[in-house]
Every structure is written in C-alpha cells, then in structure tokens.
Amino acid sequence: MSSRPHSSPGDTQPGVSFADASCPLPISDHQEIVLGHGSGGKLTHQLIERIIAPHFSNSLLDPLHDGATLPIGGQRLAFSTDSFVVKPVFFPGGDIGKLAVHGTVNDIAMCGAQPLYLSVAFILEEGFLMKDFFRIVQSMKEAAAEAGVKLVTGDTKVVDRGKGDQIFINTSGVGLIRKGVDIHPRRAEPGDQIIVSGEIATHGIAIMSVRDGLEFETEVLSDTAPLNGLVDVILDVCPGVHVLRDPTRGGLTSALNEIAVQARAGVLLREDTLPINEQVRGACEILGLDPLHVANEGKLIAIVPPGHAETVLSAMRHHPLGRQSAIIGEIVANHPGMVTMRTRVGGERVVDMLSGEQLPRIC
Amino acid sequence: MSSRPHSSPGDTQPGVSFADASCPLPISDHQEIVLGHGSGGKLTHQLIERIIAPHFSNSLLDPLHDGATLPIGGQRLAFSTDSFVVKPVFFPGGDIGKLAVHGTVNDIAMCGAQPLYLSVAFILEEGFLMKDFFRIVQSMKEAAAEAGVKLVTGDTKVVDRGKGDQIFINTSGVGLIRKGVDIHPRRAEPGDQIIVSGEIATHGIAIMSVRDGLEFETEVLSDTAPLNGLVDVILDVCPGVHVLRDPTRGGLTSALNEIAVQARAGVLLREDTLPINEQVRGACEILGLDPLHVANEGKLIAIVPPGHAETVLSAMRHHPLGRQSAIIGEIVANHPGMVTMRTRVGGERVVDMLSGEQLPRIC
C-alpha cells in the first residue's frame, strides 16, 4: 500500500479545488477516468495506489489481495466485494448473474476460506426486460446452490434509461478461513512451484467471440465456475499452500506481477507448459492478443512450497475443475518484482502488465 | 417472504422463453423495469416478492429487514449491502460517498449491531472527473472515521461513456450484534410506542432543491449521518427494543407499512407529533409531496415496549442526532398490516406506500 502523503479531511469541503486538495495523482496523467482504469492492469493499480488506498489505509486493507481477512470473535473471516458490468449480459457458457456469484465465491476461496453468505445488489436500467432479469436471478440461484453459498441480503436500484447498461450486479461475501491456513501473495518464496488449474484465456475469448462475431469449429465457452471445491482439495493435501489467486481481469500476467511485487521475488514461467485451447490460441493470434493478458474466470493459480507440487497437482487433476492442471513455472530469487517467461525457442522475455485496456467490461 | 411457486432450475437454459419459465410476475404488469421498481414502494416490493425472494429463499434472507443475521462461530453477525446511484453526486449536506458509508453503517446498526467493516465497490463512467472521484473517496474516508468503521476491501470497474452516470457506489458491511438484543419488525406489538429521531423528509427535499432549483431562506441540508452512536444509546437504556429502522427510500410510510405487514399489527400515527422543518413542509406543499413519502437519511424509528418510551426518548434527546426525537404514534391491534394517521383536524386516514416513483435516484 502506498504511504505517500494525502491531504487532510478539511480538504473535501465543497468549493475546495482539486489542486488545493493536493491529490497525489499527477493531474497530467489523467484528469478523467478512462476505460483502462478498469482493466485490472497498470492503470487500475495506479488508481488504487494513488487515490483509493491512501484513503482506505488500515492494517486490514490489502488492495492487491482478493479479499480482506477480518478477526471476528476468535475466528478469521474473509470478506470480499466485486461489481460486475460484463457486456453482453448473456454469453457462451454463462451470464452476468452466474459470473457475479462465482466471482465473489472465488475471491473468498482464494483467501483459503469456505464461502458461506453472499449479498446481491442490482443496478437496473429503466427498460431492462423483466424476462432477462428473471433469467439472471434464476441463474444466480443455481450458481449459489452449486457453490453451496446462501444469498442472504440484497438491494435493488433503478437508474433512468441511458444512465446504465441493462444490469450491473454487485456481490459481496463472507466466509470462514480454515484454521492454520495462511494464504498471502507475500508468502511466495524462491523455489515455490506455480500451478494453474487449466486452460487459460478462455473467458476473454468467449466474450470477444460474441462481441466480434468470431466463429470457431466448436463454440468457445466461458470457463466461469465456483472454485471453492477445488480449493478444498488443495488445502486438504497442502494446508501450507503459500498463495492462491484467480487470474481474472488482466489475465495471468496481472495476477503474477502483483504476486511478484508483493513477494519481492521473481516469477519464471515456461511457455511450453502453459495449457491453452488450440482455438483460443488461434483466436489470440488473429486478434493480436497475448493469452497471458486475457481474462480467465474458473481458473486458479496455486503457489506451493517445493516438494508439494506433485501432490497438489495430482489432487487437482482428480477434481473436475482441475483435470488440465499444470506446473507452469516457479518463484525465483532473480529479478524480484518481475515476471519473465522462457519461450518455446529458448529465449526469456519480460511479461509485463497491460498498461491500457485490452477488452473493456470483461467481467 | 413469498411462498408462491417458482420454476425449476432447468428453466434458465438459454432458449427457454419467459413464458416457459413461468415467471410469477404477471407479464401484463410490467414487461420492462420502470423507475418505480427502485422507489422503495409497492413496485419495489412486488419485484422483491415475485422475482427476487423466491430465488434467494432461505431461512436467513429477510428482504424486508435492513440486513441479514448470520450465525458465525458462536456470534451473530449482521451483513448488509446497498448500491448508491444518487443524482447529483454532490448535494447540500453531503455526497454519494458519504451517503454510501452512512447507508450501510445504518443498515447494520438497525440490526442492533456495531458496524465494523465495510467493502466499497465503484462503477465509474469513462470521462468522470478524477478530481470529483478524489473528493468522493476523501469524503468516504471521513465518513468511515466518524462512524468508527474500517474500509477493508474494494473493487473498481469502469464502463464506457453513456453506459453509466459518473459514479455508482456499492457498500456492504458486517457488524457484531449485541448479545441479548433481538430486533425484528415481527416483534412490534400492540401497545409499543413509535419514536422518530428527528425531523422527517429532509434528505429528499435537499436533493430535490438542487434538481429543481428550489430556493429557501436557509439552505435545506441532507440529514445523512451515521446512526450507530444513537443506536448504542438506545440499546444501553433499552436492550429489549423491538424494532429499529431507518426510513430512507419510500420515507416513513414505506418503513412503517413494512413493519405493520411483518408484525401483523396496525400502526397509528398522530400528525401533530411529526417533527418536520417548516421549510421542508412548505416545499412539500408547493411540490405536492406527502412528507411521509419523502426519503430520510440520518433518521431512525425505534419501536419500544410500553413503559420504556420516555426513557428511550430522553436518552435519544441527549444525543446530537436525536435532539428532536418525538413519540409519533403506537402499534395497535386494529387494522393489522395497515398504517393510519390521526390528522390535525381529528380525522383518521390510511397512509399507504407509494405505488409509483416520486423521486428517482434519491440515494
């Protein structure tokens, strides 16, 4: 979290100018919000580090982790929130409702917690079709049942036509962290092995296929899925797992760069081990996208201490959502804070975060 | 919660029509979302009861309460969510950020809980001014500090220009419910006294004054405020309080009608006891609004067992946010599920919920 100075409370009085308020963001960068601020890449990080984090600063907030860990009554609770603005709201393999349930379930699971309860808040645009709303709510019900969570409280707001986009959904959730489990990006250490639970870049390409009218031999479906069951399997065989992360917005790259920075260690990937569907790979080539930047949904990265990788991999492969799990790299002492990849042809290249927006409204 | 039948999970498969899915909302009512579905009045209730609640059905969900009560590790946690879409985002006495913190703090306080942690999720429109975003985030920081809650986790999404409206904010929160306290609308009983913590209809008129360019001798400021301190005072002197509720969207009327229905009892108000600012009363007369329908923010209703009203009232009046507290009516055995008011001229009239939308995007 940034420790740069921020202005005093009095500065927010109406009439005080932006300059007076000594906003720590260089105004010359961006005076307005741009789509890249929602990319999950560098601009999102700048916004969080310079504007949001200094105001939310406290020992529990960790803007680069998937959720907060709260001590309540002798227990450790995981607490997380996500808003969903995906476009279109129905896409191959899912819809915004399913995504909204899975998204928060997964963020809580990535804290090593069993997700228990979700809140759901809708922002509906005037004119949104009731039958579509009904379909989405029904889809959320099924997704919650599948993940074993309860939808316990909610809110519904309506905005005038042209001031929203059909439906936005926020889900927040709480879960109980397993005793003895301590998952945090900081815990990644040189020697740790990096496992991914299956083929990457699928969600992003599924969404893009609808938007751009791409045609495949077989339809590419979003990989959206609840990962808490797979996390249980991992924790059962390796309660000492160092890091869990679902690489959604910003793709594998953003997730691994965040971890490298927090852990002050390097990440070394091996290109030939990255699981990727042939159609997805082809689509990325045609569209000029790096699959490492493309969003995933029902996938996770597990970073495990040396000596545990094969056990965890084997357990993951026995789970329906982990059949194509693979060890894709390791944590290294070299180049701390940086992700590199050994390419198929034997070179090594830096794998950096996206600086702008590749595909807006992917989740 | 509605017990009407709803369709089976299989019905949400793509391609299944709305009719096939046997959606319990009579299609002839509304095939599209209208602004009234966000009013907090009858249409909101219909939407919740017919579309949302049947899908969220479980023993913890209580769509007519301000938050859910969750049993976790031998404690009772309150959990609540709200999205804020108020327009304009800056208004006399507050802004969307302050409102978003107070809103969830208050919903949790109304469960008899001490609010502890909030999540914050932003949906920003491309082009939103960075300086305004900065001001709002700063305002949230101050509001959180004042209420004694921590902002612990967050999310930021960006939507393309014209697909949002500057900024929408969701806050969700958790708090610990006081031991021995059991607050629920169902607990209201004939003989209970109804106390309101101050002047009503202020927030709605403050917002409307900006939108419609109304001018007052002295500016009407929104009453947005964190109510957890006032709730502490109430619980200290009367841990057996039956109901707490902050009458926001839909005004005093919606809150009291909901309580009357849940408690299967009647509510009788006395018009001459309702605290209301003279300028607000005048504005309501000019605009043709019933102040009972106009939104409040930093106000609460306490429904207390007979014999406790004077003690609670006195304690409330010693708190800065309760100086103008007043007993405004009582729970009666007559006309269960209905709210009536004894008017100044001695008659009695039914005080019904709004059926449409009076003032969209008030919070």
What's the rounded Cα separation, in Å, for the pair B251 and B185? 16
Strand duo B339-342 + B348-350: pairing? antiparallel
Cross-chain residue pair B37–A158, CB shorter than 8 Å: yes
Assess if residue B32 is contained within a domain.
yes
Are B253 and B292 in a shared domain? yes
Q: What's the pLDDT at A178? A: 95
Residue A17's pLDDT band, with cuts at 50, 70 and 90, is very low
Mean pLDDT computed over B320-349: 97
For chains A and B, count residue pairs whose Cβ atoms are closer than 8 Å: 322
pLDDT at residue B19 above 60?
no
Assess if residue A355 is contained within a domain.
no
What is the residue whose two structure tokens read 């990255």?
A274
Which CATH number does the domain housing residue B94 bear? 3.30.1330.10
Cross-chain residue pair A130–B73, CB shorter than 8 Å: no
Please say which residue of B156, B177, B198 terminates a domain: B177
Assess if residue B285 is contained within a domain.
yes
Assess if residue A84 is contained within a domain.
yes
Assess if residue A34 is contained within a domain.
no
Are A172 and A272 in a shared domain? no
Are A116 and A168 in a shared domain? yes
pLDDT at residue B10 above 60?
no
Are A161 and A200 in a shared domain? no
pLDDT at residue B64 above 70?
no
The mean of the pLDDT values for chain A is: 89
Gap from A67 CA to chain B (nearest CA, Å): 6
pLDDT at residue B17 above 50?
no
Q: What's the pLDDT at A12? A: 37
Q: Which of A51-60, B209-218, B234-243 has the lowest mean pLDDT?
A: A51-60
Residue A302's pLDDT band, with cuts at 50, 70 and 90, is very high
User: pLDDT tens digit string along B20-32?
Assistant: 444 555 444 789 9
Q: Does B151 touch chain A (CB under 8 A)?
A: yes
Query: Which of A28, A35, A56, A62 should one mutate to test binding to chain B, selecting the residue with the greatest count of B CBs within 10 A?
Result: A56
Q: What's the pLDDT at A300? A: 98
Are A334 and A206 in a shared domain? yes
Assess if residue B311 is contained within a domain.
yes
Are B162 and B227 in a shared domain? no
Q: What's the pLDDT at A76? A: 92
pLDDT at residue A192 above 90?
yes
* Chain B residues inside the 8 Å CB shell of A134: 18, 21, 23, 25, 51
Name beta bridge partners: B170: B83, B121
Instruction: Name B348's Cβ contacts closer than 8 Å, sequence gap at least 6.
Output: B268, B340, B341, B342
Mean pLDDT computed over A160-182: 96
Backbone angles phi, psi at A272, to 5 degrees: -70, -10
User: pLDDT tens digit string along A108-149?
Assistant: 999 999 999 999 999 999 999 999 999 999 999 999 999 999
Are B205 and B324 in a shared domain? yes
Are B189 and B117 in a shared domain? no
Assess if residue B29 is contained within a domain.
yes
Are A256 and A322 in a shared domain? yes
CA distances A187 to A40, A190, A288, Å, are: 22, 10, 34
Percent of chain B with pLDDT over 70: 90
Q: In angstroms, how far is CA B348 from the centroid of its own chain?
A: 26
Q: What's the pLDDT at A59? A: 61
Burial pattern A60-70, b for ≥16 Cβ within 10 A else e, equals: bbbbbbbbbbb
Structural domain range at position B26: 13-56
How many domains are there within chain A? 2
pLDDT at residue A308 above 90?
yes
More confident residue, A72 or B5: A72
* Chain B residues inside the 8 Å CB shell of A47: 156
Gap from B290 CA to chain A (nearest CA, Å): 22
Are B129 and B79 in a shared domain? yes
Are A199 and A159 in a shared domain? no
User: pLDDT tens digit string along B345-363?
Assistant: 999 999 999 887 778 899 9
pLDDT at residue B145 above 50?
yes
Q: What's the pLDDT at B48? A: 86
Is A327 in contact with A194 (CB distance < 8 Å)? yes
User: pLDDT tens digit string along B272-287?
Assistant: 999 999 999 999 998 8
Q: What's the pLDDT at B359? A: 83
Please say which residue of B143, B177, B211 terminates a domain: B177
pLDDT at residue A64 above 80?
no
Is A292 in contact with A351 (CB distance < 8 Å)? yes
Q: What's the pLDDT at A20? A: 44
Mean pLDDT computed over B100-129: 97
Which CATH number does the domain housing residue A307 bear? 3.90.650.10
User: pLDDT tens digit string along B231-247?
Assistant: 999 999 999 999 999 99
Q: Does B135 touch chain A (CB under 8 A)?
A: yes
Q: What's the pLDDT at A40? A: 85
More confident residue, A29 or A199: A199
pLDDT at residue A350 above 70?
yes
What's the rounded Cα separation, in Å, for the pair B244 and B223? 18
Strand duo B326-332 + B113-125: pairing? unpaired
Cross-chain residue pair B127–A33, CB shorter than 8 Å: yes
Gap from A142 CA to chain B (nearest CA, Å): 6
More confident residue, B9 or A260: A260
Are B173 and B291 in a shared domain? no
Residue B73's pLDDT band, with cuts at 50, 70 and 90, is confident
Q: Does A23 touch chain B (CB under 8 A)?
A: yes
pLDDT at residue A218 above 70?
yes
Helix (H) or strand (E) holding A138: helix A130-147
Please say which residue of A156, A177, A198 terminates a domain: A177
Residue A60's pLDDT band, with cuts at 50, 70 and 90, is low
More confident residue, A103 or A5: A103
A141 secondary structure, DSSP code = H
Q: What's the pLDDT at A62? A: 57
Percent of chain B with pLDDT over 90: 75
Mean pLDDT computed over A266-279: 97
Gap from B194 CA to chain A (nearest CA, Å): 26
Assess if residue B61 is contained within a domain.
no
Mean pLDDT computed over B95-101: 98
Cross-chain residue pair A116–B61, CB shorter than 8 Å: no
Q: What's the pLDDT at B2? A: 35
Mean pLDDT computed over A285-291: 92
**DSSP three-state, residue A169:** strand
Q: What's the pLDDT at B84? A: 98
Is B81 in contact with A120 (CB distance < 8 Å)? yes
Q: What's the pLDDT at A66? A: 74
